[in-house]
A and B are shown apart, each in its own frame.
Chain A
Amino acid sequence: MSGDFTTADDLAAHGRDYVKVGAGDIQRIVTLSTSGSTGNGKRLYFTAGDLRRTIDFFRDGMSQICAPGDKVAILLGSPSPDGLGRLLEEGLREMGAVPSLLCLPRDYRETAEALESLLPDTLVGLPVQMRRLALMTPRLRPKTVLLSGDYVSLAAVDTITRLWQTRVFTHYGLTESGLGFAVQCPLLLGQHIRASELQVEIVDPDTGESLPEGEWGEIVFTTLRREAMPLKRYRTGDISRLLPGVCPCGQPGPRLDRVLGRVTEMRKPVSIYALDELLLRDDALLDYEASFRDGMLTVVTEGGDPASVRALLTETYPGFAVRVSPGVIPPSAQKRMVKTL
């Protein structure tokens, strides 16, 4: 990669070079396996101060989504010390909410039962998983839902909103940004960026050229207060745009529009984003997996009617051969994508 950008490959190959503090000051390390070219894991380093600022963001962001005393089910992360789940739990406690760290679901039935006992006011989780739970337990009716961690389809937002009669917020963030990045305001217009922590630019994903507000491109950020591992012009690989003007909610500062997805996924002949919007409109379809190779799109669906799914896909993608079969799709922590190769 040329120029003054930092890329995922740079971190995978030379991660230690980016660490600016002594080993004794590192409170938490996160290892991420990359789906990038090097195939190696990236390690991200955080001091206690870095984690504190993440908790602050979670506390402030969540106080717009739930109120003191509210029960919040966290369906992300693990019990791992100083991990996403624990940090969010702490932020919620600090704003006076009552968090339950249920973690990423391992079994939907088990999770649905836990939610039916807990009756949370707010849920935080992955979009497709929260949609599936809404279809399984329509009477849950939380006041708000926060979707984060993967592409948020309009179809998933609509389904959750409709079934649970709830307000759905989105958050975009990555481990490299210190987990928090941007969260929707109460008016659900744009995602407000943590401007005290991150300077955000949008660049052309092919040329690296800076793009003005309002134009879609790759999100690039520079950390402003990170201690362990400051990042300059880190290329996220995600596509969005900066929204111009001041948000009607009154909060100042830059805002991101919806995140449309990852550049690498969008370049595939068929992306998971297009499939989500197409297939997740069917309430009978709980989940699906897709792969594409040599002009053949293969989809496994759980729920829904494979024949009508096949007809819909054939109509939408007349150039492809399409095969749809029923199956079971267990919950997964991985980012969803169309498998190619």
Chain B
Amino acid sequence: MDEMNWKCFKCGVPLTKKAVVFEYMNRSFSHEVPVCPQCGKVFISEELAEGRMAEVEAALEDK
């Protein structure tokens, strides 16, 4: 899936890749994801959610 073909439905503009900071359990990590340059909404692909994000969650979710 080519993330660069995505457009923001609300704003009608193509999404651009930006480094976004994610925060979870008092820790943060940064990842480049497609973002609407106008309204700022971030797109999380299924691949990202089930891949890198799931890995980071598992690492942080210790007892």
Binding site for B on A (CB under 8 A): 29-32, 41, 43, 77-78, 80-81, 83-84, 175
Whether B61 is near chain A, meaning CB under 8 Å from some CB there, is yes
CB distance from B45 to the nearest CB of A (A): 18
Q: Is the CB of A29 within 8 A of B61?
A: yes
Whether B63 is near chain A, meaning CB under 8 Å from some CB there, is yes
Q: A31-B57, A31-B58 are in contact. Are A77 and B63 (CB under 8 A)?
A: yes
CB distance from A23 to the nearest CB of B (A): 12
- Subset of 22 A-B contacts with CB under 8 Å: A29-B57, A29-B61, A30-B61, A30-B62, A30-B63, A31-B57, A31-B58, A31-B59, A31-B61, A31-B62, A32-B63, A43-B58, A77-B63, A78-B63, A80-B26, A80-B60, A80-B62, A80-B63, A81-B25, A83-B63, A84-B63, A175-B63
**B63 proximity list for chain A (CB < 8 A):** 30, 32, 77-78, 80, 83-84, 175
CB distance from A127 to the nearest CB of B (A): 17
Q: A31-B57, A80-B26, A175-B63 are in contact. List 20 more A-B contacts (CB 8 A).
A: A29-B57, A29-B61, A30-B61, A30-B62, A30-B63, A31-B58, A31-B59, A31-B62, A32-B63, A43-B61, A78-B62, A78-B63, A80-B25, A80-B60, A80-B62, A80-B63, A81-B25, A81-B26, A83-B63, A84-B63
Interface size on B, residues (CB 8 A): 9
Among B57, B58, B59, B62, which residue has its beta carbon within 8 angstroms of that of A83? Answer: B62
Instruction: Give residues of chain B (47-63) contacting chain A, Cβ–Cβ below 8 Å.
Output: 57-63
CB distance from A88 to the nearest CB of B (A): 11
Bound complex: CA of A81 vs CA of B59, how far in Å? Answer: 14
Bound complex: CA of A78 vs CA of B25, how far in Å? Answer: 12
Bound complex: CA of A196 vs CA of B24, how far in Å? Answer: 32
Bound complex: CA of A316 vs CA of B49, how far in Å? Answer: 53
Binding site for A on B (CB under 8 A): 25-26, 57-63
CB distance from B51 to the nearest CB of A (A): 15
**A32 proximity list for chain B (CB < 8 A):** 63
CB distance from B8 to the nearest CB of A (A): 24
Bound complex: CA of A45 vs CA of B22, how far in Å? Answer: 21
**B58 proximity list for chain A (CB < 8 A):** 31, 41, 43
Bound complex: CA of A91 vs CA of B44, how far in Å? Answer: 38
**B60 proximity list for chain A (CB < 8 A):** 80
CB distance from B54 to the nearest CB of A (A): 9
CB distance from B48 to the nearest CB of A (A): 17
**A78 proximity list for chain B (CB < 8 A):** 62-63
Bound complex: CA of A121 vs CA of B57, how far in Å? Answer: 36
- Which residue from chain A places its CB closest to the CB of B58 in the assembled complex? A31
**B25 proximity list for chain A (CB < 8 A):** 80-81
Bound complex: CA of A84 vs CA of B25, how far in Å? Answer: 14
Bound complex: CA of A29 vs CA of B57, how far in Å? Answer: 9
**A29 proximity list for chain B (CB < 8 A):** 57, 61
Bound complex: CA of A327 vs CA of B48, how far in Å? Answer: 43
- Which residue from chain B places its CB closest to the CB of A84 in the assembled complex? B63
- Which residue from chain B places its CB closest to the CB of A76 in the assembled complex? B63
- Which residue from chain A places its CB closest to the CB of B60 in the assembled complex? A80
Bound complex: CA of A83 vs CA of B57, how far in Å? Answer: 14
Please list the 9 inter-chain residue pairs (A to B) with the smallest Cβ-Cβ separation, ordered nearest first.
Answer: A31-B61, A31-B58, A29-B61, A84-B63, A30-B61, A81-B26, A30-B63, A81-B25, A175-B63
- Which residue from chain B places its CB closest to the CB of A175 in the assembled complex? B63
CB distance from A260 to the nearest CB of B (A): 23
CB distance from B61 to the nearest CB of A (A): 4
**B61 proximity list for chain A (CB < 8 A):** 29-31, 43
**B57 proximity list for chain A (CB < 8 A):** 29, 31
Bound complex: CA of A80 vs CA of B26, how far in Å? Answer: 8
